[in-house]
Amino acid sequence: MLVTGLEILKKARAEGYGVGAFNVNNMEFLQAVLEAAEEARSPVMVALSEGAMKYGGRALTLLAVELAKEARVPVAVHLDHGSSYESVLKALRAGFTSVMIDKSHEDFATNVRETRRVVEAAHAVGVTVEAELGRLAGIEEHVAVDEKDALLTNPEEAKRFMEETGADYLAVAIGTSHGAYKGKGRPFIDHPRLERIAALVPAPLVLHGASAVPPELVERFRAAGGEIGEATGIHPEDIKKAIALGIAKINTDTDLRLAFTALIRETLNKAPKEFDPRKYLGPAREAVKEVVKSRMELFGSVGKA
């Protein structure tokens, strides 16, 4: 069933588990995410970035909202990294039930003003809002405190930000970053900072840039002919610890992309004569579904629907 992001995330934070927000860019990703959620009896957030909305258009947004309505588990359809008020309005018009306004690159006052404006519009139509404070950036552990403060989310600022904006959940910067390289070795995650934020902010907290980039998946991608430089993700234990400290929404995109692409390469390498898309998109879809299921296991959302 189609529900708001807050309906899913409030329960998750209260009960101490995480819910995956999985980025989808086509029908196969959407099917994989929803099938995994139903088989795992897990709530789920289907996330579309502005790039996904541009790439898939109504074929994707309509499908996401309609399939979410028919799903046998709670599903929120979420705009990921909305960059403007206008972009959020498009997602609201498409029937999304959760929207992110990302003004984390602006100064505090501008972020508050712009986020507040989106909150008023979204709440007027029963949709809940994710905002962001702090800059996503991989941080080496020995980095000076003032440099971390300039980038990572400041706990006291986060409290004020949520009170002044009325946002429903908050994306925090604690050392993660988007993409397949998140820092040397085991990327540093500032759990003490997260603990201080969670003590001041009762709202569900969000972790972007949370893909694990598993070495076995990276190797499979390379073995199938993919080229990727140094690749490191967030350690599963660091995700579990973050969930225990108040993270309720965990974004995963890179792991899904790696799995999908590795399987397409593998299938085409094995069958150079193949030109039926179902023969290579199908196995790729299955690979994404397995990644989604393993992430739900890690987050503790299995059986929580």
Instruction: Find the part of the chain contacting Zn ion (CB under 5 A) among 3-11, 32-40, 107-115, 208-216.
Output: 208-216
Cβ nearer to Zn ion, comparing 183 with 265: 183
CB 128 within 8 A of CB 169: yes
- Report which of 228, 231, 226 is spatially closest to residue 268, judged by C-alpha positions: 226
Q: Measured in Å, how far apart are the chain's first and last C-alpha atoms?
A: 10
Cβ nearer to ligand PH4, comparing 54 with 278: 54
- CA dist., res. 295 & res. 139, Å (int): 24
> Facing residues of 232 across strands?
181
* Helix, strand, coil % over all residues of the chain, rounded to 5: 50, 15, 35
The answer to whether residue 4 forms part of the interface with ligand PH4 (CB under 6 A) is no
286 marked among binding-site residues: no
- CA dist., res. 204 & res. 101, Å (int): 16
Q: Which residues contact 272 (CB under 8 A, 6 or more apart)?
A: none
Tokens matching residue 54: 């541009």
Q: Which of 49, 98, 104, 111 binds ligand PH4 (CB under 6 A)?
A: 49
Residue corresponding to tokens 């706990």: 155
Instruction: Find the part of the chain contacting ligand PH4 (CB under 6 A) among 119-127, 159-167, 245-253, 292-300.
Output: 245-253
Q: Which of 148, 193, 208, 265 binds Zn ion (CB under 5 A)?
A: 208
The answer to whether residue 252 forms part of the interface with ligand PH4 (CB under 6 A) is yes
CB 301 within 8 A of CB 17: yes
Residue 211: contacted member of ligand PH4, Zn ion, none (CB under 5 to 8 Å, by partner type): ligand PH4
Instruction: Answer yes or no: 80 catalytic.
Output: yes
Residue 252: contacted member of Zn ion, ligand PH4, none (CB under 5 to 8 Å, by partner type): ligand PH4
The answer to whether residue 95 forms part of the interface with ligand PH4 (CB under 6 A) is no
Residue 179: contacted member of ligand PH4, Zn ion, none (CB under 5 to 8 Å, by partner type): ligand PH4
Tokens matching residue 120: 């008023």
**Numbered residues of the known binding site for Zn(2+):** 81, 102, 132, 178, 208
Active site residues: 80
**Contacts to Zn ion by CB under 5 A:** 208
**Contacts to ligand PH4 by CB under 6 A:** 23, 49, 51-52, 80-81, 178-179, 208-211, 251-254
